[in-house]
Structure 1
Amino acid sequence: MLFRSTVEADLDRLLHCTVDEPISWAGPDRLRSFLADGHYRHERVWIAEQDGEILARAVWWGFPGDRPLALDCLYVHPSVEDRVALAAELLRHAHDAFGDAPAYHVFVPAGWRDLPTVVAAVGWRWEAGRRAGLTDELERLRYAWTPDVPVPEPSGRLTFRAEPDDEAFVEVFRRVAEGSLDHHTRQALVTKDAEAQAREDLADYLSMPGDRSWWRLAHTPDGDLAGFAMPSANNAGPVVGYLGVLPEQRGHGYVDDLLGEITRCHAELGAQRIAADTDATNLPMARAFERAGYRVFAVRLVLSADPT
């Protein structure tokens, strides 16, 4: 069995790796499009090959020109008897080449645990991921706002101002990390300090398609900084992005004001859909989405390496 990254000459064969299970995957149109715009790169698409036949394929996503950030698709040919073993070995080879083990992101319907075919599709992939060192599990709820829901009116409790200085956002990212309920933030702080994490978060949002001019700092009527709101976008369209309340300002319900500001920003620009994710365990944020009229439409499952 040969494990390797792909080259352009492999494309026709890669397009025939078809997943017929009810789970997110990199289909032919997505593969072509993302290879063209740089979100996929051949050195981030790995295969297990025997006698010229592709028996397994793994596809990693990343920002154009950046490192691989997430495993986007894991395919094993139906003829393979032990799918878990082959997939795990493929992932280990790729991780060794990357010098990193990017998290695996899978999108499934809401209520997926009641759907046996989805449970089965997730099950063998999760076991392969675990064998390859991805042992930390997370479930995130996927929300969407659409124009049939009223746009939240400003409460007047906070004033929102543009801030051109990136260092101001580094500082608020750093401060809101304290006591955060966000799994990604808490996991990152195991291996790095709050400022390093803040700079990494800022760099990620600067690399997204959203407009930097949308970002706002939020102040109380007394002029005290309360938090920040960062509307953004990804390849699929407008997203909530990031919002945070400073530790000393928590307990006042400002999350509703920040989310309302983000929703208004996108709605005023004509958004027909605003997407968002939050951890299933982050109940305050989930309830804020529900109050604002965002509806759960899917679930994102994330399997990542334990930072310890």
Structure 2
Amino acid sequence: MLTIRTAHPDELPALTTSPEDDERNAATAAYLAGLLESGCTRPEWCLVAERDGRLIGNVVLWTIPGRTVPMDIVLLEPGDAATGEALLAYAAEQARRLGAQTQGHVLDSPAQAPQFQRDPELREGLLAGAGFTVTRDGCRFLWTASDPMPAQDERLHWRTLAELGEAPFVELLADTFTDTKDSIFQAEIAEHGLRGAARRNVADMLEMNHQPAWYEIGYDAADTPVAISMPARTATSAVIGLVAVARIGRGQGYATSVVARGTRVLVDAGAEEIRGDCDADNIGMSKAFQRAGYRNFANRKMFTRPL
């Protein structure tokens, strides 16, 4: 008989382990330990599937630290198809009970630490069957301390969130959204309008782990605001975060300038590895990462479902 339940304290943080796969077991356990410590998840959000006294699958809910409503599924070990279906159904029920209206999940390829999302066809089939749809087919980029530091753009001077306040960031981001190529931003604009979507994204970035001096607007020689740089930290890595270029600044390489600026800020704060994401169709942003010395280390599909 299959039982879905909250993990016992002695089952954390390892949850489901894979025989003869010590690398995966150690990396995933360390990842979950970090999520628990940072407040991205909670012990009661760590759910396991048990059959005949043996753990055969698990699912873990996630949110931004400080929030009480889970936003996403961060770890999923489906076991087999039937177990995966049961876990996803239970995860939806628990998130709905806590006030969530939607639920997201990401699937990276190739499979790698710390999630080790093997069996991608099984996973995609389970997600589709549980009502998830793809909201972004994206690319992931990586820079490490062994890579050359990207050159800084001397055409721009920068002013921080601490100096400017939030309003200029919202105003400039709304301008950049006019012709955005990002599928997630497009969906948010359709629902909330340009300024509403900009306001929501700035608010989301303010909830990220950051220092006020990290969030900046870049100005050109005429003192015109042309770019936004909002690097931050997640529970597991430094991230370039939000990159935006005003319409008046398009075609001048400022997206690369923002990636370079965010990299410099994060390195000065101690980062040795920095990640960034963008929509696969956003060719300009992909080129900006590559020109700044980042490499496309994985692809990422983002899924969501209504609850």
How would you bin the TM-score normalised by the shorter chain? 0.7 to 0.9
Q: Corresponding residue for 2:17? A: 18
CA distance in 1, matches of 2:86, 2:56: 8
* Counterpart code for 1:213: A
CA distance in 2, matches of 1:25, 1:76: 18
Superposed, 1:118-267 pairs within 5 Å as 121-164=119-162, 165-267=165-267
For residues 106-127 of structure 1, the C-alpha deviation after alignment (integer angstroms, 9 at most, x for no partner) is 33338x9xxxxx8961122222
Q: Corresponding residue for 2:105? A: 104
* Counterpart code for 1:44: W
Q: Which moved more, 1:178-187 or 1:251-260?
A: 251-260
CA distance in 1, matches of 2:284, 2:210: 25
Identity %: 26
- Asked if structure 2 preserves the Cα contact closer than 8 Å seen for 1:141 and 1:277, the reply is yes
Give the C-alpha shift of residue 24 in structure 1. Answer: 10
- Asked if structure 2 preserves the Cα contact closer than 8 Å seen for 1:230 and 1:243, the reply is yes
CA distance in 2, matches of 1:263, 1:203: 22
CA distance in 1, matches of 2:150, 2:56: 51
Aligned in 2, Cα 1:75/1:263: closer, same or farther, shift over 3 Å? Answer: closer
Q: Corresponding residue for 1:303? A: 303
CA distance in 1, matches of 2:96, 2:3: 12
Aligned in 2, Cα 1:178/1:19: closer, same or farther, shift over 3 Å? Answer: farther
* Counterpart code for 1:97: R
Aligned in 2, Cα 1:5/1:173: closer, same or farther, shift over 3 Å? Answer: farther
Taking structure 2 as the reference length, the TM-score comes to 0.82
Give the C-alpha shift of residue 48 in structure 1. Answer: 4.6
CA distance in 2, matches of 1:271, 1:197: 29
CA distance in 2, matches of 1:62, 1:26: 20
CA distance in 2, matches of 1:246, 1:82: 48
The runs of 5 or more residues in structure 1 that have no matched partner are 113-117
C-alpha RMSD of the superposition: 3.2
- Asked if structure 2 preserves the Cα contact closer than 8 Å seen for 1:39 and 1:63, the reply is yes
Give the C-alpha shift of residue 291 in structure 1. Answer: 1.1
- Asked if structure 2 preserves the Cα contact closer than 8 Å seen for 1:135 and 1:306, the reply is no
- Asked if structure 1 preserves the Cα contact closer than 8 Å seen for 2:135 and 2:183, the reply is no
CA distance in 2, matches of 1:204, 1:102: 16
CA distance in 1, matches of 2:289, 2:254: 13
Superposed, 1:277-288 pairs within 5 Å as 277-288=277-288
Give the C-alpha shift of residue 129 in structure 1. Answer: 1.4
The runs of 5 or more residues in structure 2 that have no matched partner are none
Q: Which moved more, 1:52-61 or 1:172-181?
A: 52-61
SS in 2 for 1:191: helix
* Counterpart code for 2:103: P
